[in-house]
Amino acid sequence: MRLVSAAFLAALAVGANPAAADPQCRVIDVDFQPSDKLQIVAWLEDASGNYVDTLFITDAVGRRGIGNRPGRYDFNSGPRWPYGRRTTTFPVWSHKHGMTFPTLQFRNRDDSNLSHPFNQSSSEAFFCRPLAPNEPGWDTATCSSPIFTDKGALDSTVPSRYPPREDIAMVQGIDDPGVASYDDLNPFDSVSQATPAADLPFTVSWPMPGALPAGDYVLLVEVAKEFDHNATYSVTARPAPEGIPWSQYGLPYRGQPSVVYRLPVTVGSTTATASTMTYAGYGDPDGMDGNLRSPDLSITSDVPGSGAGRLLVRTDGTAMFRLRATARPEDDSIAPGAATELAAADTQPTTVTLSFVAPGDDGGANPVAGYEVRYRALEPIDDSNFATSSPISTSIEVDDPGQIQLFDVTGLLPETTYYVAVRAYDECRNYGPLAVTHFTTPERPVGEVDACFVATAAYGTLLANEVSHLRQFRDGVLRRSVLGELFVETYYTVGPAFSTVVAHSDPLRQAARDGLAPLVSLVRGLKYEE
């Protein structure tokens, strides 16, 4: 059974109902400077070590569900990698919060095979197909072509300490019916944010629910990073699994385990600040338990951005720190104003840049504390459905009232109308009015597809077994003759435009699969020379 603290329920009530915000509140400011490509979670415990609430969690775990998704935990990784449950991300936090969730598995229950049937995979709005390290786009987070992924199925007999992803909508007749419940199973929506920008100071301001008494608490911040290898946690020591299909995609990611920073915090009627330069320990490298291991020489300590140095050293002019917390009382009875002139400044097939004029707080004189951004596809968004609309994880650096604010939204679908709403909030989570706009993404440029063009579009993924057979036929037969090579070059000329149309039409995808079936059946039994 899932356990949720009273404090967390109170925090949800504040986030869902602006009127519930208390003009007099206590705020904990958490300050740090992250290095690049981190996953971060911050939570509060009482003086006895009991979990109280989660203050902040990066989007990949909090909304995208990388800790609980189909596929074995030691699968390789890469940009926007769609599979493999990353149970090693936050082992200390995941065991501390006390909640469990059903585990996601591939529909065919084969954890070791990245391939999946086309009739069990739906269009993917965020993750990309796995890439080989030598492929173009390895170091980017852009998806060059429409892909389809297995959204998995819930197995209630196997508990997970991580929530499933909540950023998908079930496709009737393709996805498992349980996909519709993923959103309801995730309690971390309100505290999920985009990964903070590398090498820049970052602050999380968390209003304590009124039900929490003043007193002594402990702030913990757990930080994970893929590919953070050293002599102890090397590719040799922790290799990728062998003897499984598609092992050539991605790279071994299991480097140094998560590190945890720990900081006592006193909450009272006056402002109190504490900071630390050192990490408290590290989590289980395999994510099997929640024990905090004491610092030792296996963790890199002298390289910025690696191991104990994942949070960079900051200074406030008088002292240096990696983590700082400030608990302070706040009196804020006036809600912020509304953002104005919200509009799309630059619209691309899968991304958009939006702009608005920053509102003010406290009657317009001061900057707001932050913004909540949500969207809906194909239908308008307003006060009645804002709370149930999909949150957008984006970083908006708060500016003074009247200044132009810009933010990017990624993971969109081409040729789709989106409605976006923005509301500002202050330190005590008083919320301002909604600002709403809409835009339509353009079609994807012709040719912006995978090199296996029609087959990939038909079967939804380059990793489909049918596509694999066709690629082997291309490389083992066609490209060994002049006429065959001429056919391949002709296919590369006309394939991109045709496949772009196929990928966005279920009837055409089915027709393409039907047309390719005899060829797949023929080549499946062929033997190829190396």
CA distance 428 to 517: 61
At a CB cut-off of 8 Å and minimum separation 6, what does 264 contact? 216, 217, 218, 219, 274
All domains of the chain, ordered by start, with CATH? 6-64+90-98+184-328 (no CATH), 340-440 (2.60.40.10), 453-524 (no CATH)
pLDDT at 529: 53
Tell me the average pLDDT across 225-238: 96
pLDDT at 523: 65
29-43: pLDDT as tens digits: 999 999 999 999 999
CA distance 429 to 432: 9
Q: What is the DSSP letter of 259?
A: E
Tell me the average pLDDT across 8-24: 41
Residue 14, pLDDT > 60, answer no
Q: Which is nearest to 75 in space by CA: 88, 64, 65, 62? A: 88
Q: Which is nearest to 376 in space by CA: 445, 442, 434? A: 434
Residue 462, pLDDT > 60, answer no
363-397: pLDDT as tens digits: 778 899 889 898 888 889 999 888 878 777 667 88
146-180: pLDDT as tens digits: 678 899 999 999 999 999 998 887 888 889 999 99
Per-range mean pLDDT, top range of 231-235, 344-348, 425-429, 515-519:
231-235
Share of the chain above pLDDT 70, in %: 79
Higher pLDDT, 204 or 23: 204
pLDDT at 164: 95
Helices (H) and strands (E) in the chain, counts: 8, 23
pTM, two decimals, is 0.77
At a CB cut-off of 8 Å and minimum separation 6, what does 154 contact? 102, 103, 104, 164, 176, 178, 181
pLDDT at 8: 33
